Structure 1
Amino acid sequence: MPQFRKYKIPLLWLRRHTSTRNFILISSVLVGLTAGLAAVVLKTLVHYIQQLLAYGNRLLEEPVWLVVFPLVGILLVVFLVRVMFNGQLGRGTASILHSISQKSSMVEAHKMYSHVLTSGITAGFGGSAGLESPIVVTGSAIGSNFGREYHLNYRDRTLLLACGAAAGIAAVFNAPIAGVLFAIEVLLTDISISAFIPLIISAVVGALCSRIILREELLFFADQLGVFAASHVPFYILLGILTGLMSVYYSRAAWRIEALFEPFQDQPYRRALVGGVLLGLLIMLFPPLFGEGYGAVKLLESGKPEALLQDSWLSFFGTNEWLVLGFVGMLALVKVAATTFTIAGGGNGGNFAPSMFVGAHVGFFFSRLANMLQIHKLPEGSFTVVGMAGILSGVMHAPLTAVFLIAEISGGYTLMIPLMIVSATAFAMVKYFEPFSLDTKKLAQKGELLTANKDRTVLRIMQIRHLVETDFQPVRYSATLRELVEVIAHSRRNLYPVVDEQQKLRGIILLEDVREIMFKQEKYDKVLVTELMSAPPAVVRHNDTMAEVMKKFDETGAWNLPVLQGELYLGFVSKSSIFTKYRKLLIKTTGN
């Protein structure tokens, strides 16, 4: 702690002696550097785990390790999560979106390293999931905790959170533009021009970390891709439709497979065994499913699909071109199962890399089939690369990220028009069938998903427990008019809840309803409260969303509604207090 304090003091001085804008720019450099280094650590961890296991030739000789390694990885992750993180890890970009909307962009400190450790083990041992979502969580946690440490407000803390995510994506792919666009499309629902500069700085710094330390080459090379021709446009449109439909299949299949694991929610080790064994069996049948799968994608892009069968049992049947094509198509279909088995079983990873894997196989399958049937001569490398953008756009609901990511990792923008065609077509198709992305569907169902609509965003940040007013004087259910008058005399409100001995709400009394009778003293001991009370126009539950609360206000026309937990009375929420809180949050979140 003293050592950390030594490094913190200069930044505290800067925080006090520089403008907020300049401090954010400095912070974006530090957040980008830290997130970029985290990405380097993650990729290095995966590399050395795989080197240690030496899964290459040994797995070919001993296929049983295809089952054992992924299972061991998932079990190890489940053990670490339970022992080190109390069973709470919070996977995927959905956990970050939840933190933005429900926790004022406060991300747990352990996520700055927990996702690097658990996803590295998962992928290193052969889990069929991507590293991109974990590094997004890691970078977001770094940005969030930096903002919290230096007492930044919600808006600036959210911006640094997005800077960390942008740097993480940029470092993983060496793609700074894609990192910026991912942060804007997925995390930031409302952005001003001034926010672009910190995002760009963080993304560039993160990409430089990866490029300088790891010295990685581009994932694909533009000189291996075919030249775009106008005659290919109809086929790219068809590929967009196909990848859109495959994206719908991907999302729905993932949801249904994940639902099969719900009976094991309270049995993490049994869940890990089921997921690990199923994953291992799939990998035995389809060895390219081992790990992230970028090696398989490179083989397709370079025109060597027959190499995918090298470790497969199908290699005994030779490398017939129809057999190879069928194997490629099957890989596209079963990858979603392998990824869901990995994540639902307890491993840590995301759907970013798997969606690119599926897209590459769909693109190759489509173009190779057209060439084999002599429908039209299509460049298979180009369709392989562009197909990745289609599935990525459809599954993640991030078409701009998909377009520029694939353009950056292929080392050129020669395929920009096909990328736009396929991404836009796929996105339009998916939006019709699935309004929300795979990662955000649960949040949307709970009403916790941020949108570009400022009003909805602010309402989702507001929570009912912060708005409950408890200064309404309760009246006993068995009280008389005399006791009611006494309560009214000592109250500043014109609304009185009626509760019984167990503090359960039995009704309400409005001052205007008893104004006439309360001056008739001869009735003080004859009239009971039960004769004067009425049912509230509606009740608010303590866990209602603000959208549900506002709907009840609109339907009843009331200005105050009681808040209950079960049947217990907690207080009232008023429309005026909601409006006041709304105005404050609107200023806080938008700066307007």
Structure 2
Amino acid sequence: MVLAVVVGAGAGGGSVVFRWCIETFTRLFSGHADYAASPGSGNPYVPWLGPWFVLLAPVLGGLLYGPLVHRFAKEARGHGVPEVMLAVAQHGGRISPKVAVVKTLASALTIGSGGSVGREGPIVQIGSALGSTLGRLTKVTEGRMKLLVACGAAGGIAATFNAPLAGVFFAMELITGTFNAEAFGATVLASVTASVIGRAAFGDVAFLNLPDFHVDHLVQYGLFALLGIVAAVIGVGFSRFLYAVEDACDWLWRGPEWLRPAIGGLLLGLVLLALPEMYGVGYPVLEKATGGGYAVGFLLVLLAGKMLATSLTIGIGGSGGVFAPSLFIGAMFGAAYGIGAHDLLPGTAGPVGAYALVGMGAVFAGAARAPITAVVILFELTGEYSIILPLMLAIVLATATSRLLSHETVYTLKLRRRGIDLDGPAPGARIGSQQVGTVMEPLPPPLPSSTSLPDAADLLSLSGHGVLPMVDEAGAYVGVVTAQAVAEALAEQPQAAPARVGQLAEPSAVVVADQPLAQALHALLSAAGTGVPVLDRAHGEPVGWLSHQSALRAVQAHAATA
């Protein structure tokens, strides 16, 4: 807990430095605190160039951050979150400390010189690197190391966006993928500590200033539901387009990697010259769109422009996040959708800004498939609780639709393209590539659901597993029963305790015989007792038993044959 507070303080301080660097470099390259607030204007430092300075700004920025990333920390390139997810899943939470410094400078230079990316990816990687470094200095266990990495990510998000709850759920939903009391407590401490530092530096205000929205007609829920489904298609499309542009840049570029951001910056400069609203993160443009400041046609142009500018920034080797661009894209689509809905149903559609706000969360959920984070972060970024119900509806539908359209998210797709499976074994691991069916044990005798509780307790104690499969009267598999559940039932008042063990059946974690062992280990580690039943994929019936001992025997067998 003490280390979590220290990591939170470090992440909070890092976010202050990071935002100061962004503002400083933005002023140096554009002459404005945020060029997107006054797009098309000239740079007062070089007034003779007029708006044409945006052609040179990305080139100069690329000449600075390109060699920096190439020489000191190649993992600082791109949007950062996938690298943190990989470090937690397969590298024991180990992240080089130099990543924090390089990522701060490279991302600030990218955004300050016109790169159309966000701040969340860099600050997650910066905070995570701080957590990993502290974990190595204090020689904590691997599990605690991963937790400190998550604390760094939570603290970075919390301080940067004044969103302490969103920081916690971002870390647990995307970085660790686990929800338990220890992880929640540690990330909350880090998030609160970082938020206190962030609020002292930036003030305690909502990140986006939006008008009040209300849902005044039931028909609007149908419109929001449809918005969530279409937004998921856009979110998945953004993910695919992002990596398609990156592939195109990889195919076209034949020079040294350190020079790639500068030469590619010319293309980005042309996009900025045609659409200066794409300069940097673009929150002023987003706020104006939610306030109804743009026509439908221009909103769609901004949507397409953001997809292109963000993809190009990442493709040429820039450093920055994709969370803010997904919010931007969602706001443009939502506002355009809201205007269309208002024209069709002027008396019932409601304000355009409500659709823009819901579109922000739905597109992010479609791209990242993190519904809890999407709901919480949109609420905290805007302070708009009045629209929480349609927001939840659209985000859940967007998440479900995204899952139907694509197995991967905008974060995992980057790793999958490199041949990395977060659920699989790390390269060179002694365990994981075997199929479960090759290492499983014989299935323990299942308990009939009609067994009395005292008899079930005797059978569980004799089994040595602490958990047994259960079948109904017809012999069909219905789940498992644990020794803990039986003991708790026997400890209840006689009139409250069930007569038969069938009432205590629980669904087991799904482990199938043809599944890689590395994937099954996640279910094994989280299961009650000493093992889990292995099911036949075709019929869903148990065919074996996977225990911790059988997994360890697989390691021993691999070592003996290596």
SS in 2 for 1:225: coil
Distance 2:431 2:389 in 1: 50
Q: Give the CA deviation at 1:33.
A: 0.7
Q: Is the 8 A contact 2:216 2:350 kept in 1?
A: no
Matched, 1:351 2:339: no
Matched, 1:190 2:166: no
Distance 2:7 2:366 in 1: 30
Which of the numbers 277, 281, 284 marks the counterpart of 1:292? 281
SS in 1 for 2:383: coil
Instruction: Give the aligned partner of residue 127 of structure 1.
Output: 115
SS in 1 for 2:42: helix
- Judged with a 3 Å threshold, the aligned counterparts in structure 2 of structure 1 residues 546 and 118 are, in CA distance, closer, same or farther, namely farther
Matched, 1:154 2:130: no
Q: Is the 8 A contact 1:128 1:290 kept in 2?
A: yes
Q: Give the CA deviation at 1:582.
A: 6.1
Which of the numbers 463, 478, 488 marks the counterpart of 2:429? 463
Matched, 1:96 2:84: yes
SS in 2 for 1:177: helix
- Judged with a 3 Å threshold, the aligned counterparts in structure 2 of structure 1 residues 88 and 160 are, in CA distance, closer, same or farther, namely closer
Q: Is the 8 A contact 1:177 1:203 kept in 2?
A: yes
Q: Give the CA deviation at 1:296.
A: 0.5
Matched, 1:379 2:351: yes
Instruction: Give the aligned partner of residue 588 of structure 1.
Output: none
Q: Give the CA deviation at 1:273.
A: 3.9
Q: Give the CA deviation at 1:215.
A: 1.8
Residue 36 of structure 1 aligns with an amino acid whose one-letter code is G
Matched, 1:58 2:42: yes
- Judged with a 3 Å threshold, the aligned counterparts in structure 2 of structure 1 residues 71 and 347 are, in CA distance, closer, same or farther, namely same
Distance 1:408 1:265 in 2: 44
Distance 2:255 2:179 in 1: 40
Instruction: Give the aligned partner of residue 40 of structure 1.
Output: 16
Residue 383 of structure 2 aligns with an amino acid whose one-letter code is G
Instruction: Give the aligned partner of residue 360 of structure 2.
Output: 388
Distance 1:356 1:449 in 2: 27
Q: Is the 8 A contact 1:460 1:546 kept in 2?
A: no
Instruction: Give the aligned partner of residue 418 of structure 1.
Output: 390
SS in 2 for 1:58: coil
- Judged with a 3 Å threshold, the aligned counterparts in structure 2 of structure 1 residues 417 and 265 are, in CA distance, closer, same or farther, namely farther
Instruction: Give the aligned partner of residue 218 of structure 1.
Output: 206
Instruction: Give the aligned partner of residue 266 of structure 2.
Output: 277
- Judged with a 3 Å threshold, the aligned counterparts in structure 2 of structure 1 residues 216 and 114 are, in CA distance, closer, same or farther, namely farther
Q: Give the CA deviation at 1:581.
A: 7.5
Which of the numbers 335, 339, 353 marks the counterpart of 1:364? 335
Deviations for 1:2-32, whole angstroms, at most 9, x for unmatched residues?
A: xxxxxxxxxxxxxxxxxxxxxxx11111100
Residue 45 of structure 1 aligns with an amino acid whose one-letter code is C
Q: Is the 8 A contact 1:225 1:381 kept in 2?
A: yes
**What do you get for the CA RMSD once the two structures are aligned?**
2.8
Residue 166 of structure 2 aligns with an amino acid whose one-letter code is A
Residue 285 of structure 1 aligns with an amino acid whose one-letter code is A
Q: Give the CA deviation at 1:226.
A: 3.7
Instruction: Give the aligned partner of residue 220 of structure 2.
Output: 232
Q: Give the CA deviation at 1:50.
A: 1.9
Q: Give the CA deviation at 1:441.
A: 1.4
Q: Give the CA deviation at 1:231.
A: 2.4
- Judged with a 3 Å threshold, the aligned counterparts in structure 2 of structure 1 residues 461 and 346 are, in CA distance, closer, same or farther, namely closer
Q: Give the CA deviation at 1:342.
A: 0.8
Q: Give the CA deviation at 1:222.
A: 6.0
SS in 2 for 1:36: helix
Residue 39 of structure 1 aligns with an amino acid whose one-letter code is S
Residue 317 of structure 2 aligns with an amino acid whose one-letter code is G
Q: Is the 8 A contact 1:115 1:348 kept in 2?
A: yes
Distance 1:465 1:369 in 2: 55
Deviates further, 433-442 or 58-67: 58-67
Distance 1:443 1:130 in 2: 20
Q: Is the 8 A contact 1:224 1:302 kept in 2?
A: no
Residue 413 of structure 1 aligns with an amino acid whose one-letter code is Y
Q: Give the CA deviation at 1:464.
A: 3.7
- Judged with a 3 Å threshold, the aligned counterparts in structure 2 of structure 1 residues 372 and 70 are, in CA distance, closer, same or farther, namely farther
Distance 2:419 2:555 in 1: 17
Deviations for 1:263-282, whole angstroms, at most 9, x for unmatched residues?
A: 32763255324431221111
Residue 298 of structure 1 aligns with an amino acid whose one-letter code is E
Deviates further, 266-275 or 25-34: 266-275
SS in 1 for 2:396: helix
SS in 1 for 2:395: helix
Instruction: Give the aligned partner of residue 100 of structure 2.
Output: 112
Q: Give the CA deviation at 1:93.
A: 1.1
Matched, 1:432 2:404: yes
Instruction: Give the aligned partner of residue 579 of structure 1.
Output: 552
SS in 2 for 1:162: helix
Deviates further, 364-373 or 173-182: 364-373
Deviates further, 217-226 or 44-53: 217-226
Distance 1:462 1:581 in 2: 15
Q: Is the 8 A contact 1:171 1:206 kept in 2?
A: yes
Q: Is the 8 A contact 1:133 1:350 kept in 2?
A: yes
Q: Is the 8 A contact 2:69 2:77 kept in 1?
A: no
Distance 2:134 2:258 in 1: 35
Q: Is the 8 A contact 1:189 1:450 kept in 2?
A: no
Residue 7 of structure 2 aligns with an amino acid whose one-letter code is V
Distance 1:465 1:421 in 2: 41
SS in 1 for 2:332: helix
Q: Give the CA deviation at 1:303.
A: 2.7
Residue 286 of structure 1 aligns with an amino acid whose one-letter code is L
Which of the numbers 290, 301, 309 marks the counterpart of 1:330? 301
Instruction: Give the aligned partner of residue 406 of structure 1.
Output: 378
SS in 2 for 1:62: helix
Residue 142 of structure 2 aligns with an amino acid whose one-letter code is Y
Instruction: Give the aligned partner of residue 256 of structure 1.
Output: 244
Q: Is the 8 A contact 1:332 1:358 kept in 2?
A: yes
TM-score by length of 2: 0.72
Q: Give the CA deviation at 1:260.
A: 0.4
TM-score by length of 1: 0.68
Q: 5+ unaligned residues in a row in structure 1: which ranges?
A: 1-24, 306-323, 468-544, 551-574, 584-592
- Judged with a 3 Å threshold, the aligned counterparts in structure 2 of structure 1 residues 304 and 222 are, in CA distance, closer, same or farther, namely closer
Deviates further, 133-142 or 46-55: 46-55
Deviations for 1:62-112, whole angstroms, at most 9, x for unmatched residues?
A: 121112112221231102223444x45354111112212332111011012
Distance 1:49 1:171 in 2: 20
Q: Is the 8 A contact 1:463 1:546 kept in 2?
A: no
Q: Is the 8 A contact 1:140 1:162 kept in 2?
A: yes
SS in 2 for 1:63: helix
Q: Is the 8 A contact 2:430 2:555 kept in 1?
A: no
**1:510-589 paired onto structure 2 within 5 Å:** 579-580=552-553
- Judged with a 3 Å threshold, the aligned counterparts in structure 2 of structure 1 residues 576 and 166 are, in CA distance, closer, same or farther, namely closer
